[in-house]
Amino acid sequence: MLPFFVLCSVFYTFLTSFILSVVLLIRCTISLLFGFFRTRADDSISLYEGTVCHERRHPLSHSFKMSVRYALIDLDRSSYIPPNHLSAKEARSIAGTKGPVLLLTIPPSVGYQRSPVTLYYCYEPHKESSSDILKYCIAEVSNTPWGEQVRFVFNPYSDLAAKSLHVSPFMDMLGDWKMKTRSPGNNLSVTVSVKHPVLGNYFTASLTAQKVKSSSKVDYALFFWLMPQKAAIYTYWQSFKLLLNNVQFYEHPKYKKPLYIEESLKNAEGRGCCMAFPGTGDLQNSTPPNGCERWYSWKKVKWPWA
């Protein structure tokens, strides 16, 4: 049944993306000739270009790299907020912070939305200077094509979060996500590793990117044209290659455990947060937001297209 839904998703996405791409081409042509429909400059949005790398070390060595484009959006200042995301107020309430909130994501393009990494950087005002300190991050993880999404708080300087979502059919539900990032500037980096109780650190995904100069002069629709679709195609193609190499396929746990979400979230919340104090490498427990349990949320998302 799943392959059928995937094919339906691919067909629908191709059709809508083609039609909306033609509309975009017409809009850009009119804008170029007559000056209509020009994108307004928004200095609250920074654009990044970089690379996403995946490396699997078990049961076989498999890796790939993909060029990506991301937007870093100041949710307090920007007039544009991508659909289906938290507001700055909601993110601050979850993280227990009082400063700015920056959203790192791939915006929707011609009718399709998919971002391998979506993060909210939650800052706290510094008492002794005008600069803000990155205190917590909120991760947003979706598992296309099952249409599920989990959000959780983690310490950006180093953290272990219990795996709470069936993201890949080539991985079981055991283990933790090891998360690490840093405050975005001219460069940004995000690293997620899977720490498995039997296989060890057998999978790593990373994002490294550099800020695009003169971002305010870029047409956002053209800059991100087909970027979400490209990410989806890469993911499905790599999954097909793993299938050809006879890597074990794990069906979604909901078919055997209807309450798997409740069990996973209960286990994840009980693990606590967070490993490292901000700005240090001290792997001691710091005080998490909203009490001693890590904040998690789960919901169904629009499927198979966003």
Q: Is the peptide bond before 59 cis (omega within 30 degrees of 0)?
A: yes
User: How many Cα atoms sit within 13 Å of 88 on the Cβ side?
Assistant: 16
Neighbours of 159 (CB within 10 A): 25
Checking if the pLDDT of 143 tops 90, the result is no
Give the CA radius of gyration of the chain: 20
Average pLDDT value for residue range 53-67: 93
Question: Measured between alpha carbons, how far is 55 from 62 in angstroms, rounded to an integer?
Answer: 6
pLDDT range class, residue 303, cuts 50, 70, 90: low
Checking if the pLDDT of 300 tops 50, the result is yes
Q: What is the dihedral of CA 22, 28, 32, 37, to 10 degrees?
A: 130
pLDDT range class, residue 40, cuts 50, 70, 90: low
Checking if the pLDDT of 283 tops 60, the result is no
pLDDT reported for residue 267: 72
Name the token pair of 187. Answer: 């460069």
pTM comes to 0.86
Average pLDDT value for residue range 231-254: 90
pLDDT reported for residue 55: 96
Percent of the chain with pLDDT over 70: 85
User: What is the SS3 string spanning 27-49?
Assistant: HHHHHHHHCCCCCCCCCCEEEEE
How do residues 151-205 score in pLDDT, each as one tens digit? 999 999 999 998 888 899 999 988 899 999 999 999 999 999 999 999 999 999 9
Least confident residue range of 6-10, 18-22, 54-58, 117-121: 6-10
Q: Which of 167, 174, 194, 170 is nearest to 250 (CA)?
A: 170
- Averaged confidence pLDDT in the chain: 84
How do residues 24-36 score in pLDDT, each as one tens digit? 888 888 877 776 6
Q: Which of 35-49, 197-211, 271-285, 287-301 has the highest mean pLDDT?
A: 197-211
pLDDT reported for residue 117: 81
Q: What ranges in the chain are assigned the alpha helix state H? A: 2-34, 88-95, 220-223, 227-244, 260-270
Average pLDDT value for residue range 79-89: 88
Checking if the pLDDT of 290 tops 80, the result is no
